[in-house]
């Protein structure tokens, strides 16, 4: 009986020891799995490179500032940037990466692969080394691009910027650049700021303009004011001439109904700018034989039973466009025919006088 109890006691003791050993082995195995997963996770290129940036020392950051002629007084700001939780990685070439903080590039890093490893038969990863870290400080710690028409004003923390960095014509409006009446699209590159700043943009009437910001680029969704009526347009620009009269004269000119020398060219030319394509087109029409082949007709009464002036696009105080729709009643061989003018007219000021610089037909739907 005693022997049986001793055996049972030894069995329980052995079982306990065995269980403890299994428990220890299980803990070691779990630690190994955890460490393997951690190593695998840290070896992923994004995590690895972000970890490199997070681990940059104050000495490294100071050197980067000095090498780029920036004050070491910016060290705390620079450190906050490199410690940001919003860092992202973008591969730009084989083993070459860019690091961004809120879409603002802060570093370029060259790496090389030292080895390929596999753990637990499942986790494949690469062991990397950093060859070179290049800080992106040529524009300073904080910078912006502001893209606006050249007749707008840009303020940084209340201070007006005087000079923009680059300019270009608005696309599809090259014909408008006869003089400085038409604004250009300009970019202000604002560099070497010591912190984030308030950007305020005002139009040519000194009204604050709502703009969108993305990737530290400020720009408008639409650079021009678009309104339906002449009355609305006059809230932005002084249109002090009869647009409809010009459109009607042009419509009459095309059908040899305009009064004046050379089939009305002497009248229509007063609205135009000599040397422009539109002026040359009108001149050619008035001086070619083609105009003499215009069908014989008389005009109805009223001449224009339907007329509309709408869809104004304001480019600045001295440039705009609008849409004209006219139905001209022409009586040909005793029958009424409707001749439609549906065009977009473009105007600029020349020597303080409004001139028609281009006409474009509205495409039919």
For 308-359, write each residue's pLDDT tens digit. 999 999 999 999 999 999 999 988 888 899 999 999 999 999 999 999 999 9
Terminal C-alpha separation, the chain: 107
In this model, does residue 274 exceed pLDDT 60? yes
Are residues 151 and 204 in contact, defined by beta-carbon separation less than 8 angstroms?
yes
Q: Tokens in use for 221?
A: 């969704």
How far are the Cα atoms of 141, 190, 266, 351 from residue 57, in angstroms, in the given order?
A: 17, 28, 78, 63
> Is 133's pLDDT higher than 80?
yes
**What confidence tier does 26 reach under pLDDT thresholds 50, 70, 90?**
low
Q: What is the DSSP string of 126-155?
A: EEEEEEEEEE--TT-SEEEEEEEETTSEEE
List, for residues 258-269, the tens digit of each pLDDT value: 988 888 899 999
* Per-residue pLDDT band at 41 (split at 50, 70, 90): low
For the chain, domain boundaries: 26-135, 142-223, 230-361
- Over range 231-259, report the average pLDDT: 94
Whole-angstrom distance, CA of residue 3 vs CA of residue 122 = 51
What CATH number belongs to 230-361? 3.10.450
In terms of C-beta distances under 8 Å and separation of at least 24 residues, what long-range contacts does 153-158 make, across chains too?
A: 153/201, 153/202, 153/206, 154/188, 154/199, 154/200, 154/201, 155/199, 155/200, 155/201, 155/202, 156/190, 156/193, 156/197, 156/198, 156/199, 157/197, 157/198, 158/198, 158/200
What is the value of pTM for the model shown? 0.77
């Amino acid at each position: 009986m005693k022997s049986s109890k001793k055996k049972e006691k030894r069995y329980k003791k052995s079982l306990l020891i065995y269980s403890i050993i299994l428990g220890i082995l299980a803990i070691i195995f779990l630690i190994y799995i955890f460490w393997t997963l951690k190593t695998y996770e840290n070896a992923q290129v994004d995590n690895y490179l972000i970890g490199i940036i997070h681990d940059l020392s104050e000495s490294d950051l100071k050197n980067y500032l000095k090498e780029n002629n920036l004050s070491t007084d910016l060290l705390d700001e620079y450190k906050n940037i490199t410690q940001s939780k919003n860092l992202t990685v973008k591969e730009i070439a084989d083993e070459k990466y860019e690091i961004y903080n809120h879409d603002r590039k802060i570093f370029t890093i060259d790496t090389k692969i030292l080895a390929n490893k596999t753990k637990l038969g499942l986790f494949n990863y690469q062991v990397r080394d950093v060859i070179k870290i290049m800080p992106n400080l040529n524009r300073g710690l904080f910078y912006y691009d502001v893209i606006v028409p050249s007749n707008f004003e840009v303020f940084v923390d209340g201070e007006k910027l005087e000079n923009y960095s680059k300019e270009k014509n608005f696309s599809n409006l090259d014909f408008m650049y006869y003089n400085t009446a038409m604004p250009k699209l300009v970019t202000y590159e604002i560099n070497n700021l010591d912190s984030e700043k308030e950007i305020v943009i005002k139009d040519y009437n000194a009204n604050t303009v709502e703009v969108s910001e993305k990737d530290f680029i400020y720009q408008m969704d639409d650079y021009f004011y678009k309104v339906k009526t002449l009355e609305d347009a006059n809230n932005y620009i002084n249109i002090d001439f009869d647009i409809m009269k010009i459109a009607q004269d042009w419509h009459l000119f095309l059908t040899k109904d305009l009064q004046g020398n050379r089939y009305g060219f002497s009248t229509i030319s007063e609205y135009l700018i000599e040397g422009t394509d539109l002026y040359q087109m009108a001149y050619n029409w008035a001086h070619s034989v083609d105009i003499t082949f215009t069908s014989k007709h008389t005009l109805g009464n009223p001449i224009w039973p339907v007329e509309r002036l709408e869809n104004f696009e304001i480019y600045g105080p001295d440039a705009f466009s609008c849409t004209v729709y006219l139905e001209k009643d022409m009586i040909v061989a005793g029958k009424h025919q409707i001749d439609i003018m549906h065009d977009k007219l473009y105007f600029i000021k020349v020597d303080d006088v409004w001139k028609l610089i281009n006409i474009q037909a509205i495409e039919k739907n």
